[in-house]
Structure 1
Amino acid sequence: MGRKMEWAGKANHLLGLPRKTVIMAVGTFAKAVALVLNSTSVSNADTLLNLVRSRPPGVPLITVSNHMSTLDDPVMWGFKGFPTCNAHLQRWVLAAEDICFKNTVYSYFFRLGKCIPITRGGGIYQEHMSEALELLSNGEWLHTFPQGKVYQEDEPIRRLKWGTASLIARAPITPIVLPIIHQGFEKVMPEKYMFGRRPPVPLWNKDIKIIVGEPIEFDIAKLKQTAISTSRSSSSFSNEGWPPFGPLDEAAQRCLYIDISERIRSVMEKMRVISKKLKV
């Protein structure tokens, strides 16, 4: 518990100077990998830039993407024109606790980098999901990898984890949900490069392709009613003791999160197929 360091993630920690320093350093690294060491092209970048810089006040943004390597974040934000070094505009991101928060030094660094620790397999009601919800309540931008782990194989998007869907449904103001698909990071940081391990530094002379989609609309009130109706006609869900969510019991919540997740997965898969044919 001592390695979660939620205090270090606060904007006013030491007047914000450590955060600005880390964001600027990581942002410079991201720019170097994306633009100097490699070639990065982006389709529909303006949609992302407009939502990051000037979405309606108080409205949160959730970006979702496939997960091709351990460098996806931050390097996917290193493309030309993106405010990668701006600590105020930079995203929050759900980060694997066992990788990014495994010791005190890592925890402090990643907290300054606006990362939230998530225990893979810990469920949607784990401790720091409430922290993510609080950020969304304040109109922040949160990035998630709903696949839950790195997949470098060129194959269809698999069933998504429910954590992102639960945040979309439970946020007081329904977030703008923007899908992103990318290719090439699996070549910059392959999982099995040398002796079955990742390379010690990012590889170079690779082509990175990023495709920004259009926001996915969710009528949460309508989806909740559908989930309640669907759950009453199904008894196939196990019970893990989830707390009620408004009028939704656990079975209805599961129906709701499955519905939202499948809508996101379907859009991401269509984008993945298109991206394979697209020359950005």
Structure 2
Amino acid sequence: MSFYDVLSRGDEALEQNRPRNSKIWNFFSHLTCKTVIGASKIVMGTLYDVEVKGLNNLDDAMIDARKQDRGIMTVMNHMSTCDDPFLWACFPWRNYKDLDDIRWGLAATNICFTNIITTRFFSLGKILPCDRFGRGPFQPGLDACVRLLSPDDTLDEKHIYHNDGVSLSSLIPKGIPDSRNFLSSQYSPPVLRKKTSLVHVFPEGFVCQLQSPFNNSMRFFRWGTARMILEPTVAPVIVPIFSDGFEKIKPEKLEDTMFDFFTFYNRGSKVTVNIGKPLDSQVIESFRDEWKRLCDKYHDVGDFSRMTDELKFGEEARKLRSKVSAYLREQVARLRIENGFSEEDPRFSNIQWWSKYTASKGESDKEVKFMGLNWAVRDYQKNVVLYDDRGREVK
């Protein structure tokens, strides 16, 4: 169930300083993406042994999603800084003939959006900024993902939350220009697209490289991913992916250098990408039904266009996002076992364990050691903005 205010903010985030509804922008965006994928293909094709399992699962999901007018979402473990774009180098060129078939993704603001050059490059590469360390799941980049997963022809009274006795158009806040009001005949979508969008997510939020015997384990999955399932106008088709081997190409170090950025390690090693079947639509719809019931219970009777604090921060809403995220993690963990790994340590799916472990910088469980650094520790990262428990910037 979508809220007008969320979709509107998603439009704003997509429009901000980016003429994405321009054919010229799309041309250079497609050129940027294909150039990066091409360079990555040279590296992967000449230096590593790549195996892709279940590519037909992704192909079929893309076809089915477009037939059903639904967005597509892929979720994957995050083993290395080269996961994206090297993942896409493992797939055939036919997957990138159309810009609409190239994924949208998220990247850390404090790493990839630090100046005008990197901001323009990653924006052309269909990457959206995501703030870490307290900003939480209610931020512009995630609103943009909800909007991308909402087909342009579903922005109507059937799919957007409103009072049944009142038309949705009468609830739109005053002062919104017609060009930004997607219920207006003059509305222009922020992204020029012919098909529904593909959004790729690393739900762990940080690279996770643990030393043996815990190697290739995952962190807990964060709640922002649950928003992308619960809040689009229609349920996206969700495809789980598990990869291993990218961590050998870019093993984490205590300190990165420019030399490391251009160096590819462990040449000849095996990289496996396991693509699962789309997740059960009935399970996804059951989550969305539960979200709809919460919206009916905790909506703002004075303003149906916005999501209330109870729906953002209330206990029931938090539990639902936790349940959705845990379900996604279980599906990716099944693919991990298919790749030959044993069952994970049960601690690693527990958000409380990770919170304690990160807060103590690993002292709470000394036998669990990272390759390099645990990047979830704020002190290890530069250019970090602080936020309170409601995602508001702390001055």
TM range (shorter): 0.7 to 0.9
Output the TM-score relative to the length of structure 1. Answer: 0.83
Match of 1:190 in 2: 251
3-state secondary structure, aligned to 1:56: helix
How far residue 157 of structure 1 moved from its aligned partner, in angstroms, is: 2.5
Name the stretch that deviates more: 54-63 or 92-101.
54-63
1:68-217 counterparts in 2 under 5 A?
68-83=79-94, 85-86=96-97, 87-121=99-133, 122-138=135-151, 139-153=196-210, 154-192=215-253, 196-197=255-256, 199-201=260-262, 202-203=264-265, 204-217=267-280
The CA distance in 2 between the partners of 1:178 and 1:213, in whole Å, is 6
With over 3 angstroms needed to count, the CA separation of the structure-2 counterparts of 1:256 and 1:169, relative to structure 1, is same
How far residue 250 of structure 1 moved from its aligned partner, in angstroms, is: 2.2
8 Å CA contact retained: 2:149, 2:199 = yes
The CA distance in 1 between the partners of 2:288 and 2:31, in whole Å, is 43
With over 3 angstroms needed to count, the CA separation of the structure-2 counterparts of 1:46 and 1:98, relative to structure 1, is same
8 Å CA contact retained: 1:174, 1:220 = yes
With over 3 angstroms needed to count, the CA separation of the structure-2 counterparts of 1:252 and 1:82, relative to structure 1, is farther
Q: Deviations over 1:136-190 (max 9, x none)?
A: 1133110000001000121532221100111110011101111100001111011
Q: Deviations over 1:107-155 (max 9, x none)?
A: 0000000001110131111122221111111331100000010001215
With over 3 angstroms needed to count, the CA separation of the structure-2 counterparts of 1:248 and 1:217, relative to structure 1, is farther
- Report how many aligned residue pairs link the two structures: 263
8 Å CA contact retained: 1:59, 1:176 = yes
With over 3 angstroms needed to count, the CA separation of the structure-2 counterparts of 1:200 and 1:124, relative to structure 1, is closer
Name the stretch that deviates more: 54-63 or 269-278.
269-278
Q: Taking CA–CA contacts closer than 8 Å with sequence separation of 6 or more, which of the two structures ends up with the larger relative contact order?
A: 2
- Structure 1: 5+ residue stretches without partners: 231-241
Question: More strand by proportion, 1 or 2?
Answer: 1
1:37-48 counterparts in 2 under 5 A?
37-48=47-58
* 1:49 equivalenced with 2:59 (yes/no): yes
With over 3 angstroms needed to count, the CA separation of the structure-2 counterparts of 1:261 and 1:17, relative to structure 1, is same
8 Å CA contact retained: 1:182, 1:211 = yes
Output the TM-score relative to the length of structure 2. Answer: 0.60
* 1:264 equivalenced with 2:325 (yes/no): no
Q: Deviations over 1:18-73 (max 9, x none)?
A: 11220121110121122122121011111112333563342101100000111101
Identity %: 26
The CA distance in 2 between the partners of 1:23 and 1:45, in whole Å, is 20
Give the partner amino acid of 1:190.
Answer: P
8 Å CA contact retained: 2:50, 2:90 = yes
Please provide the CA RMSD for this pair. 2.9
* 1:10 equivalenced with 2:20 (yes/no): yes
3-state secondary structure, aligned to 1:142: strand
How far residue 268 of structure 1 moved from its aligned partner, in angstroms, is: 1.4
Q: Deviations over 1:212-244 (max 9, x none)?
A: 0111125455335657999xxxxxxxxxxx943
3-state secondary structure, aligned to 1:133: helix
The CA distance in 1 between the partners of 2:65 and 2:291, in whole Å, is 29
8 Å CA contact retained: 1:71, 1:189 = yes
The CA distance in 1 between the partners of 2:24 and 2:70, in whole Å, is 27
With over 3 angstroms needed to count, the CA separation of the structure-2 counterparts of 1:246 and 1:215, relative to structure 1, is farther
The CA distance in 2 between the partners of 1:229 and 1:171, in whole Å, is 16
8 Å CA contact retained: 1:161, 1:261 = yes
3-state secondary structure, aligned to 1:143: strand
8 Å CA contact retained: 1:93, 1:115 = yes
8 Å CA contact retained: 2:137, 2:224 = yes
